Chains A and B, each alone.
Chain A
Amino acid sequence: MDAFTLSEVLEDLAAAGDRFAQNELAPGARAAETGGAWPVRHDEVARGLGLCDLDVPESLGGAGAGALAKVVLLESLAHGDAGGLPALDQPGPTVGAVLACPDQPLAGRVAAGGRSGEAGAVLVVCDPETHGAPRLEWAPARPPCRWVWVTAGDGLALFDGPDELAPTQALAFAASGGVSSALEGCREVGRWELAPLSGHAVRARARLWAGAVALGIAQAALDATIAYTTERIVFGKPVAHHQGNAFELAALATAVHGARLALRDGACDLDAGAPAAPYWATQAAVFALDAAVATTDAGIQLLGGHGFLVDHLAEKRFREARMLGLLWGGRDAAVADLAAESLDVDEAVFVQGAHR
């Protein structure tokens, strides 16, 4: 398996995800946002496609299909509507913590609680150089949410039962809901010092999740923008046929294509257990997040005033893309992780430092 070819199974998975996204998620996206949740049927179908199982190992009750399968499905679903994904997908962005936790029976119980909908988990990324108690500023979550994974450097901790998870609205993902908490009164269930650079793996899985969702959003924004701008006539021809706009769309399409290859490549690295896999997964996520912000920005800009109205989904995608780059420490924490390995990382393809 590599980033250039999907197996028949994954092609089928993507096609099923695409159909669901086109036929049900996209038409209901605005209503789900207004209502604060996906319809129950959407949850059921997404679960039926394996959303909560694909990247969870069979030993923990999951499907063991790996990160590539997850990236492919997330892109498909997010193309229709990303709004409900963060809360529904358990363990989802916390799967890196589940995999890295040395206490696998405990991690398995936490993951199982999330997958069954009985007790969700959220991930908090802390700056290892910042001292003081961790805070949960905001996380997409749907009650009941019980567990809080905290990653800082190569440290990992699990907290149980924050006293109060205050429902908190945010820039986007209203269909998931959100919570915040000072995490006071939580019981520390475990604290572990992982092997060097293993903390990056915890965060890289969350970032890959964000990157895959961002990719789906970006592709949806690109498709919608092209559809609109090839119909809307300005100064005697379609908006997209003015060279300035056409060139911008071409560059954005290239970035989205590159993001897809990079994310799939990063997922393959994780599935293969490649030594530098977290590094390249984070690189892919940063590229995808940047591409999504640029594409969704153009998605409003090229629609003009219409893009600013809630009549179109452009403004929703614009908010979602930006927000994905802020979750789990955000882009800056990702770049900090990358910078920390700048002088040591092995090349991903075939170079392996032979020139030094």
Chain B
Amino acid sequence: MIPLDAPSRALVEEVRALGRQYMRPMGLESDRTGDPPPADHPFYLLCSRQGGLVSRTIDPEAAPDGAEVPQWQPFRAALIAEESAYWDRGVALSLPGPGLGGSALRSTATPEQSARFLAPFADHGRAHWAAMAMTEPGAGSDVARIQTRVRKEGREWVLSGSKMFCSNGARSDWVVVWATVDPALGRAGHRALVVEAGTPGFDLLKIEHKMGSRGYETASFALDDVRVPEENLLGGESFYESRQGFRGAMATFNMARPIHAAQGVGMGRAALDHALAFVRAEYPAHGRRRQRALERLADMRRELHTARLICLHAAWLARHGVTNALEASYAKLFAPPAVFRVVSAALDILGEAGVRNDALLEKLYRDVKILDIGEGTQQVQRVVVARQLFGFPRDA
């Protein structure tokens, strides 16, 4: 039992209520139409209001050493991620907030930059998003291979290239774009820059169509000589001496991975609850079939419970400023395949009743697969763990 303080419990309860009223119906509608909810949907404004979900993941009171710097709260974000994904993972990803852009700020930005870029989220009059753009058509899991170039011209940085799989990118106030000053430098050449919406040359190419998780937009961008002020280089130039830039990228993922994985726990819980309800209502009161189902349910709970502990532990480490590269990868390695097994087992329990398009389970089965791909595939996580534990070489 992980003790939660009263504000965290209240937060979970609030997400639960919002999920039931808004997120599940919005997710089903998006799945049917293929389009994410519009950015001006009343639900997003509700989340952004004074004291709403968004403001409570950015907590100025919790800033270390009393600094007036807004702090993103990974543990609270993990709680929200799990509960919101229970209702709809796609809509959960579409929630307003700094998102992965916030993770990048936390791992890379100066206090002044964090304050500047998180300031829009204090505007409760409308919903605000931020995003991060790392993946490119030719560089997915291997983020060291990104080809988007950045060069310094006077007091500006100039970006050229393309990005894809940028969650909420098309509706964001700003996007953290990872680029390289020279691909030959490898990771040492990486830079993270904030590109604000509307910057000339920063053009939306398309919103991708996906098998599942349709409740959020997945954008592709072109960057055609996009000019940003030098102050938008996260961390400042000194940050990128030696391999700090790449470490910043990885630290971003270290904070995001447990949260991504926690979404899986929520989805698995949704599948479990459907299976539980079905067994209660439809299964015979006795006999081998019921016993088999009850044992399956026990297996599902065990997988979900362990996944939840691993995710929350990794987020807890991030919350307390403890290096969590290994634990974050444990979370991302374990939870998505575990949740996939849980959803699949729930389908087994429901049988043909579970595959109909008007049943949530078949949607969950489509939704859940991306968890094992985004934020670093299971295979990447195994590489990371192997490197951490026994020096698995980069060229193996």
A residues apposed to B, CB below 8 Å: 2-4, 226, 229-230, 237, 240-243, 246-247, 249-251, 253-255, 257-259, 261-262, 265, 268-269, 272, 274, 280, 283, 286-287, 335-336, 338-340, 342-343, 345, 347-351, 354-356
Task: Give the chain B neighbours of A343 by CB distance below 8 A.
Answer: 276, 279-280, 294, 297
On whether A261 and B390 interact (CB within 8 A), knowing A339-B295, A343-B276, the answer reads no
Shortest beta-carbon distance from B286 to chain A in Å: 12
Task: Give the chain B neighbours of A351 by CB distance below 8 A.
Answer: 269
B residues apposed to A, CB below 8 Å: 1-4, 9, 12, 16, 79, 86, 269-270, 273, 276-277, 279-280, 291, 294-295, 297-299, 301-302, 305-310, 312-313, 316, 327, 330, 333-334, 379, 381-383, 385-386, 389-393, 396
B294 touches A258 (CB 8 A): no
Nearest B residue (CB) for A249: B386
Kindly state the separation between the CA atoms of A350 and B2 in the bound complex, as whole angstroms. 8
Nearest B residue (CB) for A340: B294
Report which of B297, B316, B334 forms a contact with A254, defined as CB distance below 8 A.
Answer: B334
Report which of A249, A347, A355 forms a contact with B390, defined as CB distance below 8 A.
Answer: A249
B309 touches A261 (CB 8 A): yes
Task: Give the chain B neighbours of A259 by CB distance below 8 A.
Answer: 306
Report which of B4, B86, B306, B383 forms a contact with A262, defined as CB distance below 8 A.
Answer: B306
Number of A-B contacts (CB under 8 A): 138
A-B contact pairs, 23 of them (CB 8 A): A2-B2, A240-B390, A247-B382, A247-B386, A249-B389, A250-B381, A254-B333, A261-B306, A261-B313, A283-B298, A283-B301, A283-B305, A335-B299, A338-B298, A338-B301, A339-B294, A339-B295, A339-B298, A342-B294, A343-B294, A349-B308, A350-B2, A355-B86
Kindly state the separation between the CA atoms of A88 and B392 in the bound complex, as whole angstroms. 40
B310 touches A251 (CB 8 A): no
Task: Give the chain A neighbours of B306 by CB distance below 8 A.
Answer: 258-259, 261-262, 287
Give 8 closest A-B pairs by Cβ, nearest first: A338-B298, A339-B294, A250-B385, A250-B382, A342-B297, A246-B386, A261-B309, A342-B294
Q: Is the interface of A mostly helix, strand, loop or mixed?
A: helix
Nearest A residue (CB) for B304: A347
On whether A3 and B2 interact (CB within 8 A), knowing A339-B294, A342-B294, the answer reads yes
Kindly state the separation between the CA atoms of A240 and B383 in the bound complex, as whole angstroms. 12
B1 touches A349 (CB 8 A): yes
Report which of B291, B305, B385 forms a contact with A280, defined as CB distance below 8 A.
Answer: B305
Task: Give the chain B neighbours of A250 by CB distance below 8 A.
Answer: 333, 381-383, 385-386, 389
Task: Give the chain A neighbours of B382 by CB distance below 8 A.
Answer: 246-247, 250-251
Kindly state the separation between the CA atoms of A269 and B382 in the bound complex, as whole angstroms. 31
B291 touches A339 (CB 8 A): yes
Report which of A4, A274, A335, A348 forms a contact with B298, defined as CB distance below 8 A.
Answer: A335
Task: Give the chain A neighbours of B316 by CB distance below 8 A.
Answer: 4
Task: Give the chain A neighbours of B298 by CB distance below 8 A.
Answer: 283, 335, 338-339, 342
On whether A257 and B310 interact (CB within 8 A), knowing A230-B391, A262-B305, the answer reads yes
Task: Give the chain A neighbours of B330 by CB distance below 8 A.
Answer: 253-254, 257-258
